[in-house]
């Protein structure tokens, strides 16, 4: 099973795994913070993250990640993504508020370049989840993302632990099953 992710989403999905032990409202506080007025409302891209996490949890040893420049599997479910026949910098026939903000586009592009360089990947690269987790852990032990708040580092480290355990359990099951 292939999951398409933009480079800057790679660290965030690890962080999301690090927050899965929290109640939904607390996860929203950590992950989306001031972007939400109340923590009972769903975040704009929460469904996309939940979908990706669900796929990974169901078959962690069969997941391949394709690194993409355009809208990815998290973006597909985002409620900021709207139909637009003109398209946008992030893809055809859709746009979002980030694609209309030149500063945000530059920030995303710069962050993507940094992450790709650190990982030695490029757009179009396909890597197994297991190898991606190792690569992120070895080459990007400090969280790199658009958010520069230190709160992400704790979730990032916990996410590696959760993902490593999940992959190890899948491997054990494969070897015994």
pLDDT in tens, 135-163: 999 999 999 876 766 778 999 999 999 99
Mean pLDDT of 116-135: 97
Burial 48-84 (b: 16+ CB within 10 A, else e): bbeebeebbeeebeebebebbbebbbbbbbbeebeee
Q: What is the mean pLDDT of the chain?
A: 91
| Domain residue limits, the chain | 2-168
Q: Mind listing the pLDDT tens digit for each residue in 35-67?
A: 888 888 888 899 999 999 999 999 999 999 999
CA distance 14 to 140: 11
**Is 30 in contact with 19 (CB distance < 8 Å)?**
yes
- pLDDT score recorded for residue 70: 94
């Amino acid at each position: 099973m292939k999951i398409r992710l933009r480079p800057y989403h790679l660290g965030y999905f690890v962080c999301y795994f690090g927050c899965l032990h929290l109640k939904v409202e607390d996860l929203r506080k950590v992950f989306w913070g001031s972007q939400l007025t109340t923590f009972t409302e769903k975040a704009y891209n929460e469904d996309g993250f939940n979908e990706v996490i669900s796929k990974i949890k169901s078959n962690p040893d069969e997941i391949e990640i394709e690194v993409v420049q355009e809208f990815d599997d998290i973006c597909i479910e985002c409620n900021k993504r709207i139909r637009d026949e003109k398209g946008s910098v992030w893809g055809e026939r859709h746009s979002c508020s980030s694609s209309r903000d030149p500063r945000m586009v530059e920030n995303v592009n710069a962050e993507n370049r940094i992450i790709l360089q650190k990982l030695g990947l490029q757009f179009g690269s396909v890597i197994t989840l297991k190898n991606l987790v190792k690569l992120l852990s070895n080459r990007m032990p400090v969280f790199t993302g658009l958010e520069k708040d230190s709160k992400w580092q704790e979730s990032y480290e916990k996410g590696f632990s959760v993902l490593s355990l999940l992959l190890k359990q899948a491997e054990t099951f494969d070897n015994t099953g």
